[in-house]
A and B are shown apart, each in its own frame.
Chain A
Amino acid sequence: MTAIVKQQQVEAPPVAKAGYVLPGLGHLLTGRLVVGVGMLTIDLVLLFAAFGLFRLPEIVKYDTWGGIPIHPIIAVISFFAMAGAQWFAAHRLVRPRQLTEEEENSNWNLFLRDFSRHDTGMLGFYGVVLMIGVTLLTPLLAPFDPEDVGVGTKLMHPDVWGYLTGAPDALPLGSDVYGRDYLSRLLYGGRISMSIGFVAVGLAASIGTSVGAIAGYFGGWVDRGLMWFVDMLLSLPRLVLLLAIVGMFRVTGVASIFLIVTILGLTGWMGVSRIVRSQVLSLKQQDFIQAARALGYGHTRIVFRHLVPNALAPVIVYCSLAIGGTMLAEAGLSFLGLGVAPPTSTWGTLVSDGREYLRQAGFLTVLPGLCIVMAVMSFNLLGDGLRDAMDPKLRGTK
């Protein structure tokens, strides 16, 4: 323990100041490779987004939601917030926060310390930050209106170099069969994919937590009944169940997004409920709950104010892993033609639409597929890292 305290009191080497010029450079030069590279990548994204700021008047014309350019506004706010966060991180490297002995040993700081040393976890963390960042900045990053059919001719092949050097007929990642810019489509598609992942998992986590807490807290018949239901749903292949529901209901248009999110949420909560239940079962016996009962608090209050917050850590880990799974499930649905209705697209629908041209323009299938792999992998890496860092048994093994 003492060694760690010492290490944090050591002044950062002078090269760390390079971070003020370019956030991330300081980390890189002081040997924190993963953080450095991660932050530099974010710098690059912010740089591209900065160009987008000049195109704002044009962007607000096509990216509106009911007449209000809500996404561009979010993007601009996020841009400055992210830039600020980057420089703040660079600053923290030069002047680490001095911690008191007590803070030093708090669970939160132990967790932070363990997590920041978890290389693959950090890789996942920066992957996720990058994904979320790109999602938020999408309007600024996308060079064209993703729905504009006049940007290119049909099935242009990717030509990053040509685009950057200003060749007349070049698009960075080519165009789809309508002649729409594929980079923009990928970015906007990612926005929907990520949103679906987050919202669906949020929904699943809420349902799962409630069910698990209720089952664990009340026990007896309630527990047995609910867990029987959970077992039943778990024994059904999820994709087939999803397919049956979406296929039977066949809602299209914008409503399809809501339907898909809801159904992904409704079919994804069983894992969470099992975790929360087992947490609650062990917490229930502890003194603070007994005390709360003795004080005569109501069930609702005990469950949601005392039990659930204490059972949340493993849920967060699970959610991180589940976002990946949800994105894969959404992609699978899209592949069967039951995804989000056009012209809106997700990475899943892009793969699905692109496969018709697999031989002619393979990048239409390869690129969104790689995006899915990268996003899902980031969430999984992050989840693994969080789990390891939160597990007291593993603490100090590295």
Chain B
Amino acid sequence: MFKYLLRKLLLVLPLLIGVVTLVFFLIELSPGDVADKFFTPETTPEVRQQIIAKYGLDKPAWFRYLLLIKNLAVLEFGTSIAHGRDVTTLIWEYLPNTLLLSSVTLLVIYPVGIALGTFQGVRQGSLFDSTASVVSLFFYSMPSFWLALMLQLYFSYRFDLLPTSGMHDPVEYDYMTRPEQIVDTLKHIILPGVAMGVASAAGAARYMRSSILEVIRQDFVRTARAKGLPESTVIRKHVIRNAMLPIVTLLGLSLPFLFSGSVLIEIVFAWPGMGRLIVNSIFSQDTPVVIGCFFVFTLMVVIGNLIADISYALVDPRIKYD
């Protein structure tokens, strides 16, 4: 187990370097001078040179690349060009908010999807199954930002049930007690969480359903039934437990999907997260922040996958790693 983990961890490193290299060369290839945004026609050539030197843009690309790798080795992302601040600080300001939104989505919406998929799989071919299939496919096929706009328009404006945007009440939050604050934040999470998570939940339901169907046809299920175990026990003890295994991997794999969704959802709901940070940085060609964000995103995904792998190994006794 330990050796397996070590080998996995060793693979993470080249992956991260690969991502950073890819993003770096994409930026290098793109037209436009990053430093342009500082220059007005009145900027004297000397000041221009100073700014360029300040951000190391006068060095050749290979040099900057090596410097970048060297800095990343000590988790040093450099200084944001647009904000003039350390990229690490900047990311720390936004990352917790994105993590909060995605983890609430994962932990609340996924179980719902998995439960739905389980019921569908167990009652394969029933009216419930086909209705649920079509309904979940409907949500699966929906652009998340469009759903977000619709939720906002109806649940926040027309029916006035939930707050429209932001992470908490802008005026009263400062004067709330801690429990009230948590409730307030949760209220603000519901709409973006639903908009972001519905597609993933529908995906989880689809996946779980086919996983159940796969398991239900296997010999050991037949054996269990033949032993005369009640159907409910068979389903609970044998089918669901085994069908859950691949879902663990799905959790890891759906992280990039969630992060993609967060970009759009955070804009619509004015959620101060990584998605908005990276979009703004891309638009202002703020290279250090873009690379930093990609690095963090990849790290998150890798960690997610690692956790999924480990939990897979822990729950599935058949898998032996060495």
Asked if A70 is an interface residue, CB under 8 A from chain B, the answer is no
In contact, B143 and A328 (Cβ under 8 angstroms): yes
In contact, A332 and B30 (Cβ under 8 angstroms): no
In contact, A324 and B141 (Cβ under 8 angstroms): yes
In contact, B141 and A373 (Cβ under 8 angstroms): yes
Which residues of the partner chain B approach A248 to less than 8 Å between Cβ atoms? 26-27, 29-30, 32, 282, 285
Per-residue contact bits, chain A 192-204, to B (CB 8 Å; 1 contact, 0 not): 0000000000000
Asked if B15 is an interface residue, CB under 8 A from chain A, the answer is yes
Asked if B140 is an interface residue, CB under 8 A from chain A, the answer is yes
Asked if A372 is an interface residue, CB under 8 A from chain B, the answer is yes
Which residues from 232 to 278 on chain A have a C-beta closer than 8 Å to any C-beta of chain B? Answer: 232, 234-240, 243-245, 247-250
Main secondary structure of the interface of B (DSSP, over half): helix
Count residues of chain B with CB under 8 A from any CB of chain A: 55
Given contacts A247-B283, A248-B30, A380-B137, contact A229 B18 (CB under 8 A): yes
Asked if B264 is an interface residue, CB under 8 A from chain A, the answer is yes
> When the two chains form the complex, which single residue of B11, B150, B264 contacts A239, counting CB atoms closer than 8 Å?
B264
In contact, A236 and B19 (Cβ under 8 angstroms): yes
Asked if B146 is an interface residue, CB under 8 A from chain A, the answer is yes
In contact, B130 and A120 (Cβ under 8 angstroms): yes
| Closest Cβ neighbor of B153 among chain A residues | A358
Which residues of the partner chain B approach A365 to less than 8 Å between Cβ atoms? 146, 149
Q: How far is the CA of A250 from the CA of B32 in the complex (A)?
A: 10
Which residues of the partner chain B approach A393 to less than 8 Å between Cβ atoms? 217
> When the two chains form the complex, which single residue of A243, A381, A398 contacts B279, counting CB atoms closer than 8 Å?
A243
In contact, B19 and A381 (Cβ under 8 angstroms): no
Asked if A63 is an interface residue, CB under 8 A from chain B, the answer is no
Which residues of the partner chain A approach B283 to less than 8 Å between Cβ atoms? 247
Given contacts A237-B260, A247-B283, contact A366 B19 (CB under 8 A): no
Per-residue contact bits, chain A 74-93, to B (CB 8 Å; 1 contact, 0 not): 00000000000000000000
Per-residue contact bits, chain A 376-398, to B (CB 8 Å; 1 contact, 0 not): 11001100100000000110001
> When the two chains form the complex, which single residue of A235, A324, A331, A380 contacts B301, counting CB atoms closer than 8 Å?
A235
Shortest beta-carbon distance from B69 to chain A in Å: 16
Shortest beta-carbon distance from A207 to chain B in Å: 16
Which residues from 271 to 297 on chain B have a C-beta closer than 8 Å to any C-beta of chain A? Answer: 275, 278-279, 282-283, 285, 290, 293-294, 297
Which residues of the partner chain B approach A119 to less than 8 Å between Cβ atoms? 130
Q: How far is the CA of A137 from the CA of B253 in the complex (A)?
A: 40
Which residues from 67 to 89 on chain B have a C-beta closer than 8 Å to any C-beta of chain A? Answer: none
Q: How far is the CA of A106 from the CA of B23 in the complex (A)?
A: 49
Which residues of the partner chain A approach B125 to less than 8 Å between Cβ atoms? 398
Which residues of the partner chain A approach B242 to less than 8 Å between Cβ atoms? none
Asked if A336 is an interface residue, CB under 8 A from chain B, the answer is yes
> When the two chains form the complex, which single residue of A228, A235, A335 contacts B305, counting CB atoms closer than 8 Å?
A235
Which residues of the partner chain A approach B26 to less than 8 Å between Cβ atoms? 244-245, 248
Shortest beta-carbon distance from A96 to chain B in Å: 27
Asked if B142 is an interface residue, CB under 8 A from chain A, the answer is yes
Per-residue contact bits, chain B 142-154, to A (CB 8 Å; 1 contact, 0 not): 1111100110010
> When the two chains form the complex, which single residue of A235, A249, A336, A373 contacts B142, counting CB atoms closer than 8 Å?
A373
Asked if A362 is an interface residue, CB under 8 A from chain B, the answer is yes
Q: How far is the CA of A376 from the CA of B290 in the complex (A)?
A: 31
Which residues of the partner chain B approach A245 to less than 8 Å between Cβ atoms? 26
Asked if B302 is an interface residue, CB under 8 A from chain A, the answer is yes
Per-residue contact bits, chain B 257-271, to A (CB 8 Å; 1 contact, 0 not): 101110110010000
| Closest Cβ neighbor of B30 among chain A residues | A248
In contact, A236 and B298 (Cβ under 8 angstroms): yes
Asked if B14 is an interface residue, CB under 8 A from chain A, the answer is yes
In contact, B259 and A240 (Cβ under 8 angstroms): yes
Q: How far is the CA of A336 from the CA of B143 in the complex (A)?
A: 13
> When the two chains form the complex, which single residue of B19, B22, B146, B260 contacts A369, counting CB atoms closer than 8 Å?
B146
Asked if A169 is an interface residue, CB under 8 A from chain B, the answer is no
| Closest Cβ neighbor of B145 among chain A residues | A335
Asked if A131 is an interface residue, CB under 8 A from chain B, the answer is no
> When the two chains form the complex, which single residue of B141, B149, B261, B285 contacts A355, counting CB atoms closer than 8 Å?
B149
Which residues of the partner chain B approach A231 to less than 8 Å between Cβ atoms? 15
| Closest Cβ neighbor of A355 among chain B residues | B149
> When the two chains form the complex, which single residue of B29, B253, B260 contacts A238, counting CB atoms closer than 8 Å?
B260
The interface centre, meaning the residue of A229, A366, A373, A398 with most chain B CB atoms within 10 A of its CB, is A373
In contact, A244 and B133 (Cβ under 8 angstroms): no
| Closest Cβ neighbor of A119 among chain B residues | B130
Asked if B319 is an interface residue, CB under 8 A from chain A, the answer is no
Q: How far is the CA of A220 from the CA of B261 in the complex (A)?
A: 36
Shortest beta-carbon distance from B164 to chain A in Å: 12
> When the two chains form the complex, which single residue of B15, B150, B282 contacts A232, counting CB atoms closer than 8 Å?
B15
Asked if A280 is an interface residue, CB under 8 A from chain B, the answer is no
> When the two chains form the complex, which single residue of A236, A240, A332, A394 contacts B143, counting CB atoms closer than 8 Å?
A332
Which residues of the partner chain B approach A234 to less than 8 Å between Cβ atoms? 253, 256
Shortest beta-carbon distance from B240 to chain A in Å: 20
Which residues of the partner chain B approach A34 to less than 8 Å between Cβ atoms? none
In contact, B138 and A373 (Cβ under 8 angstroms): yes
Given contacts A232-B19, A358-B149, A369-B150, contact A237 B259 (CB under 8 A): yes
Per-residue contact bits, chain B 303-315, to A (CB 8 Å; 1 contact, 0 not): 0010000000000
Given contacts A237-B256, A237-B257, contact A232 B264 (CB under 8 A): no
Q: List 7 extra interface pairs beyond A351-B143, A351-B146, A366-B150, CB under 8 A.
A: A232-B22, A237-B297, A238-B260, A332-B143, A365-B149, A377-B137, A380-B140
- 15 A-B pairs in the complex with CB atoms less than 8 angstroms apart: A232-B18, A235-B256, A235-B305, A237-B263, A238-B257, A240-B260, A248-B282, A248-B285, A324-B141, A331-B143, A332-B144, A372-B141, A376-B141, A377-B141, A394-B213
Using a CB–CB cutoff of 8 Å, the interface residues on chain A facing chain B are: 119-120, 228-229, 231-232, 234-240, 243-245, 247-250, 324, 328, 331-332, 335-336, 348, 351, 355, 358-359, 362, 365-366, 369, 372-373, 376-377, 380-381, 384, 393-394, 398
| A-B pairs with lowest CB-CB distance, top 10 | A248-B30, A376-B141, A239-B260, A377-B141, A369-B146, A237-B259, A247-B282, A237-B260, A235-B301, A237-B256
